[in-house]
């Protein structure tokens, strides 16, 4: 990029090329930015991605439907349950499975917990990048508590592989419920403490207001979704526009910003955490009794005891594992509100054991292409703040 | 108290009306259409992709100004129409979605670019080129994005094997596709 001409009033003789990444502690993920610098001001930027590309779309064409859930874990690994449930709801849409209300409510609880854990990481890391470490330490404990809830529900912490097509592998246990209630009681206190530290903090405001700014028109043209779009003032949320998993039963609002900068993104994420708490509270209060699985023996694995003692269960177990179940043909696009935006699954089935084609609409991949344009003209330190504020997750970026 | 749905479902554009509009504008270049799961899907000739997306973008009563997704697809069973590109468009105001598909022969994998309508198509088209070898004519920077630059294959084409075919310790007869 040596063709870039310096400004007339620049004191430099030539631009400096700086490699920011691929492994830099401030980029929180493996991606490279080749910056062209005039002093400390960025005059040109080029990004290289694909460092942790794992060909999930190709692998998915060779795996049965239930084996794809672990792949989705590794997209946005900060909120893997949302990816899992997004995948399950997609497959259920294709198969025409009606899930019981209990499944929907449990999913909503878990997805909102995942959203909180994703947003709190993003916001506290933004604090770290602007020089405020203590907020990160306060919130990290709460992420640990959320992971303990995951552990109680499915046994895993980060890559959860939670739930199955049609519901859950087992019912939620009382310990998990107790831990969620404790979390609901404790988290508001931590979050308001965090907000007191940041929201009106002069240094934090100076570092984030008008940094990484993007207009609503530009954001829409770049395909922004989720909190980053809402920070620009567009009230688009898949949970409201196309409710899935019974989101229409809950009372919550969609926080929007106006300026589209790092500060507004931070505020939108904070307010969304409050809304998520509200949703979890409602779902937990009104959690219906009933089955934790849909009544579809062709797709839901029977319990192990029945497999050993019951002929029919054994047949279904064999059929599901060996892929002998007839899968409907068709193509479906389904999207859920991921922590970073609209997480879409475009699934084409030709009736085979595996998808014919599966494409992930990954919000990070789509909005990261605006990054060079956003940071042009800003300082290096602002580029770091912008990157954290956008919440780019390398796993989702590279799939 | 249940949440009130912000977007008015009554406001949603009618699929048949959209189709009528497009048919009166483009006529025979719309090959056929279907509605899987209520999502209007239109199969078109690749020559009119740009015109159609521009029309969908600008026309007052359509206003599909958000490109949700763009991806490629390879189906070797469709002779002379193996490679396809799938566009998912969205009108956020009325909460309407539409899917546009277009296919071409493997020997001539060329499509017009839509980057001048949607900036977001830039990386999506690069990804599609990277995995399917579809050449988007007029793209400002058409090079590989996720795979390494010196790769010669297009890995999401069906003939590309998932694993090293010389391995003997793997037998996929029972569990493979």
CB A276 within 8 A of CB A184: no
pLDDT of residue A200: 93
B5 pLDDT higher than 90:
no
Rounded distance between C-alpha atoms, residue B150 and residue B66, angstroms: 33
In a 3-state reduction of DSSP, which class is residue A345?
A: strand
- pLDDT, residue B174, reads 64
pLDDT at B3 over 60: no
> Is B160 in contact with A58 (Cβ distance < 8 A)?
yes
User: Is A197 buried (19+), middle (13-18) or exposed (0-12) by CB count in 10 A?
Assistant: middle
Enumerate long-range contacts of A237-240, CB under 8 Å, 24 or more apart.
Answer: A237/A337, A238/A335, A238/A336, A238/A337, A238/A342, A239/A337, A240/B3, A240/B5, A240/B6, A240/B7
| Beta-strand relationship, B66-74 and B83-91 | antiparallel
Q: In this predicted model, which residue has the larger pLDDT, A323 or A224?
A: A224
In this structure, of A4-13, A282-291, B135-144, the range with the lowest mean pLDDT score is A4-13
Other Cβ atoms closer than 10 A to A13: 6
Which helix (H) or strand (E) element contains residue B58? helix B49-58
- pLDDT of A71 strictly over 80: yes
Asked whether residue A328 carries a pLDDT value surpassing 50, the answer given is yes
Neighboring chain A residues of B3 at a CB cutoff of 8 Å: 240, 247-252
What value does the mean pLDDT take over residues B153-168? 82
Is the per-residue pLDDT at A365 higher than 80?
yes
Which domain CATH number covers B128?
3.30.460.80
Cα dist. A314→A310, A325, B19 in Å? 6, 14, 48
Are A72 and A358 in contact, with CB atoms under 8 Å apart?
Answer: no
Residue A336 binned pLDDT confidence (cut-offs 50, 70, 90): very high
Query: What is the mean predicted confidence (pLDDT) over A117-135?
Result: 91
Residue B168 is predicted with a pLDDT of 72
Q: Are A384 and A26 in contact (CB under 8 A)?
A: yes
For the beta carbon of residue B166, count every other beta carbon within 10 angstroms: 5
- Tell me: pLDDT of A243 over 60: yes
Sequence-distant (≥ 6) Cβ neighbours of residue A104 within 8 angstroms: A245, A246
Is residue B143 assigned to a domain?
A: no
Tell me phi and psi for residue A359, to 5 degrees.
-120, 130
Nearest to A353 among B124, B146, B177 (CB): B177
Confidence band for B2, pLDDT divided at 50, 70 and 90: very low
A93, B73: Cβ pair inside 8 Å?
Answer: no
Tell me if residue B148 falls in helix, strand or coil.
Answer: coil
Separation of alpha carbons A155 and A167, rounded Å: 16
Q: How far apart are CA A233 and CA A256, in angstroms?
A: 5
Report yes or no: B147 at the A interface, CB cutoff 8 Å: yes
User: In angstroms, rounded to a whole number, what is the distance separating the alpha carbons of residues A298 and A64?
Assistant: 14
pLDDT value of position B25: 87
Q: Which residues pair with A231 in a beta bridge?
A: none
Q: Rounded mean pLDDT of A223-244? A: 92
Residue-wise pLDDT tens digits, A157-198: 999 999 899 899 889 999 999 999 999 999 999 999 999 999
pTM of the full structure: 0.92
B12 touches chain A (CB under 8 A): no
| Domain housing B59 | 9-137
Measured in angstroms, the CA of A131 and the nearest CA of chain B are apart by 33
Ordered by start, the domain boundaries in chain A are 1-48, 56-398
What average pLDDT does this structure show over A324-340?
Answer: 91
Give the pLDDT band (50/70/90) at residue A87: very high
What ipTM did this prediction achieve? 0.90
CB environment B43-68: b (16+ within 10 A), e (fewer): bbebebbbebbebbbeeeebbbbbbb
Contact B118 A241 (CB under 8 A): no
Cα–Cα distances (Å) from A185 to A174, A196, A229, A245, B16, in that order, read 17, 18, 30, 25, 51
- Rounded Cα gap, residues A79 and A77, in angstroms: 5
Among A244, A320, A236, A325, CA closest to B37: A244
CA dist A246 and A309 (Å) reads 36
Query: What is the reported pLDDT for A10?
Result: 75
Residue A345: closest CA among chain B residues belongs to which residue?
A: B69
Residue A351's pLDDT is what? Answer: 87
pLDDT for position B113? 94
At residue A220, does pLDDT exceed 80?
yes
Number of domains chain B is built from: 1
Q: What is the pLDDT of residues A96-112, one digit of tens each?
A: 999 999 999 999 999 99
Please name which of A267, A260, A245, A264 lies closest in space to residue A337, comparing C-alpha atoms: A245
Q: At what angle do helices A134-154 and A101-129 cross, to 10 degrees?
A: 160
Nearest to A367, CA basis, from A207, A232, A199, A209? A232
Within-domain flag for B132: yes
Task: State how far residue B129 is from chain A, nearest Cα, in angstroms.
Answer: 14
Residue in B2, B119, B145 nearest the CB of A222 = B119
CA distance A87 to A73: 10
**Proportion of chain A above pLDDT 70, given as a percent:** 99
Instruction: Place B136 in a pLDDT band, splitting at 50, 70 and 90.
Output: very high
Does B148 reside within a domain?
no
Examine the pLDDT at B6 and tell me if it is beyond 60: no
- The pLDDT of residue A3 is 62
Q: What is the mean pLDDT of residues A20-44?
A: 85
> Region A81-107: what's the mean pLDDT?
94
Report, in angstroms and rounded to the nearest whole number, the Rg of chain B calculated over CA atoms.
19
Query: What pLDDT does A14 receive?
Result: 79
Question: What values do phi and psi take at A262, rounded to 5?
Answer: -60, -35
Look at the domain A56-398 and name its fold.
Answer: Cytochrome-c3 Hydrogenase; chain B (1.10.645)
């Amino acid at each position: 990029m040596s063709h870039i001409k310096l400004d007339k009033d620049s004191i430099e003789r030539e631009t400096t090329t700086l490699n920011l990444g691929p492994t830099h502690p401030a980029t929180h993920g493996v991606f490279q930015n080749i910056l062209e610098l005039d002093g400390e001001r960025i005059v040109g930027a080029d990004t290289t991605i694909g460092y942790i590309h794992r060909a999930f779309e190709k692998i998915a064409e060779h795996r049965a439907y239930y084996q794809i859930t672990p792949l989705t874990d590794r997209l946005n690994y900060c909120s893997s349950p949302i990816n899992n449930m997004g995948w399950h709801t997609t497959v259920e849409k294709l198969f025409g499975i009606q899930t019981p209300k209990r499944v929907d409510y449990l999913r909503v609880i878990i997805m909102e917990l995942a959203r909180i854990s994703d947003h709190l990481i993003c916001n506290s890391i933004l604090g770290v990048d602007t020089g405020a470490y203590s907020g990160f330490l306060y919130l990290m404990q709460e992420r640990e508590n959320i992971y303990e809830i995951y552990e109680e529900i499915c046994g895993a912490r980060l890559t959860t592989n939670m739930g199955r097509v049609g519901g859950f592998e087992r019912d939620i246990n009382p310990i998990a419920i107790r831990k969620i209630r404790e979390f609901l009681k404790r988290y508001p206190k931590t979050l308001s403490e965090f907000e007191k530290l940041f929201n009106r903090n002069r240094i934090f405001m100076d570092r984030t207001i008008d940094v990484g700014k993007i207009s609503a028109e530009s954001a829409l043209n770049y395909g922004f979704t989720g909190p980053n779009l809402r920070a620009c003032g567009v009230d688009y949320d898949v949970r409201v526009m196309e409710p899935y998993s019974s989101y229409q039963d809950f009372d919550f609002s969609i926080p929007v910003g106006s300026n589209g900068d790092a500060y507004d993104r931070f505020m939108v994420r904070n307010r969304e955490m409050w809304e998520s708490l509200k949703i979890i509270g409602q779902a937990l209060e009104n959690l219906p009794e009933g089955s934790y699985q849909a009544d579809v023996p062709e797709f839901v694995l029977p319990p192990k005891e029945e497999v050993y003692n019951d002929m029919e269960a054994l047949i279904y177990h064999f059929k599901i594992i060996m892929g002998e179940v007839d899968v409907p043909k068709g193509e479906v696009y389904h999207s859920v509100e991921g922590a970073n935006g609209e997480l879409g699954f475009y699934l084409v089935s030709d009736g085979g054991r595996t998808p014919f084609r599966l494409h992930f609409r990954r919000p990070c991949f789509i909005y990261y292409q605006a990054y060079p344009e956003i940071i042009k003209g800003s300082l290096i330190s602002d580029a770091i703040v912008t990157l954290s504020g956008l919440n780019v997750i390398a796993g989702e970026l590279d799939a | 108290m249940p949440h009130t749905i912000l977007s008015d479902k009554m406001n949603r554009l009618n699929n048949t009306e959209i189709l009528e509009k497009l048919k009166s504008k483009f006529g025979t270049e719309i090959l056929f259409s279907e509605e899987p799961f209520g999502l209007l899907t239109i199969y078109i000739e690749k020559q009119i992709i740009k015109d159609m997306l521009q029309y969908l973008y600008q026309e007052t009563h359509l206003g599909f100004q958000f490109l949700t997704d763009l991806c490629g697809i390879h189906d070797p069973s469709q002779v002379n129409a193996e490679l396809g590109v799938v566009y998912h468009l969205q009108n956020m105001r009325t909460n309407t979605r539409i899917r546009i598909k277009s296919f071409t022969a493997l020997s001539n994998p060329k499509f017009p670019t839509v980057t001048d309508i949607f900036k977001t198509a830039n990386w999506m088209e690069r990804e599609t080129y990277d995995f399917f070898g579809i050449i988007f004519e007029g793209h400002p920077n058409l090079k590989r994005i996720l795979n390494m630059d010196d790769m010669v294959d297009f890995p999401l084409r069906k003939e590309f094997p998932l694993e090293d075919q010389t391995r003997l310790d793997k037998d996929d007869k029972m569990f493979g596709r």
